[in-house]
Amino acid sequence: MVPTPTGMDALAERLVELVSPPREDEGRYWRVSPRHGLAITVGLGIALGLLMPLALGKAARADTNLTLLFTGDVASRMEPSKADGTPCTLEERTTDACLGGLARLAGQANLERARAGTVLLLDAGGQFGGTAFWNQHKQDVLAELMNRARFDAMAAGPAEFSEGSEVLGKFIRTAQFPILGANISTDRDPYLKDQIYPMLSTDRGAQRLGLLGIADLNIPQKSKPSPGVLFSPIEAKAAFWLKQLGFMGTKTVVAVSSAGIEKDKDIAARIAGIDVIIGVSGKGAQAGAPPAGAPQVVTGPAGKPVLVAQTASFGHYLGKLSVTFDRDGHPKAWKGDQIRLDRTVPEDPDIHAQVEAYAAALGTRRTQLSQLPQ
């Protein structure tokens, strides 16, 4: 049973006196997503770490399997679009030139969930802006549609700050999945205070998984965050939050990053405790061939492999990474893929109907791009 926030506070405060972890002032609370049942921990989860070996027993010592599905830099392409990101006309959607769209993405994700035991659907940021669909419907509709697709977590990227904190704050409050950024401080921002979490832990069967958010350090230069939002090098924050995940009995940590592929590889090589990084190119939404299906493998500080993966812009492909972790939570075997979301992919009918209804309101603007940064 998950302790109530009040009970967890009292227990954590007592354990702080005994264990004395590093000081950090973000607070300590448990919050549960009503849709996914994600146990989101901000601050100290020491008590659960002490109880986990008893709760999981032998299952915690066996190899475990995880399938990660991921997107990034979608730039609100809720409908199929061409290679350059231009939304397709209704006639063009029946051709091979049109890819993606949230209904296809959700349909493929549903197929993958039916095939695999433990599946997470992640987004590495870059959902905001880019189309007339965004200009018309903004954050609440986007969050509603992503809820229907059953996203599990999302990183905050430059695009998410492109229209200021109020828009992002409304998106977060509508979303039924957490927005992550361990190197983002929002204490001085009235719209985002306590809204962006550094990390979370989630129990999936016998697995306790940790998710860590990494934000692009250059968001202030690339976008328009408010003065009350501060960004720090992830190197200054990661160790503290990874230690908290360790206290909670988490052995496997997946980072969701908007920092860019080159920075992600550097993080993999320098920061101990991360097993997989799901990210984006770091150049914003742009046309081009998808990354290779296989992840890049970086040797971490402890000599263990760290898997670094990304997928294409505009939601044209759904990234897939299937990983077997050893008893210590490190990648043991893996296989990556980029699933092309073409006309042969079955659409989720509910999301298709919702997107059609919202898109119909655009009229002749349906195929227009936005002037906002993509």
Mean of pLDDT values over 143-149 = 98
30 located within any domain: yes
CA 124 to CA 259: how far, in whole Å?
Answer: 9
374 located within any domain: no
Question: Where residue 61 falls among pLDDT bands split at 50, 70, 90?
Answer: low
Angle between helix axes 46-56 and 5-19 (nearest 10 degrees) is: 100
Question: Where residue 37 falls among pLDDT bands split at 50, 70, 90?
Answer: very low
Residue 55 has pLDDT above 90, yes or no: no
34 located within any domain: yes
- At residue 370, the pLDDT reads 61
Question: Where residue 1 falls among pLDDT bands split at 50, 70, 90?
Answer: very low
Residue 58 has pLDDT above 70, yes or no: no
Q: Which domain holds residue 131?
A: 5-367
153 located within any domain: yes
Sheet holding 64-71, edge to edge: 179-180, 153-155, 119-123, 64-71, 317-325, 331-340
39 located within any domain: yes
372 located within any domain: no
State how many domains the chain has.
1
pTM: 0.85
3-state SS string over 36-70? CCCEEEECCCHHHHHHHHHHHHHHHHCCEEEEEEE
Mean pLDDT, the chain, whole residue set: 85
What's the gap between Cα 171 and its chain centre? Answer: 14
Question: Where residue 54 falls among pLDDT bands split at 50, 70, 90?
Answer: very low
Residue 249 burial class via C-beta count within 10 angstroms: exposed 0-12, middle 13-18, buried 19 and up:
buried
2: how many CB neighbours lie within 10 A of its CB? 15
Q: Which of 89-98, 100-109, 225-234 has the lowest mean pLDDT?
A: 89-98
373 located within any domain: no
Residue 49 has pLDDT above 80, yes or no: no
Q: Provide the CATH number for the domain around residue 294.
A: 3.60.21.10
- Note the pLDDT tens digit of each residue in 345-373: 999 999 999 999 999 998 888 777 664 44
353 located within any domain: yes
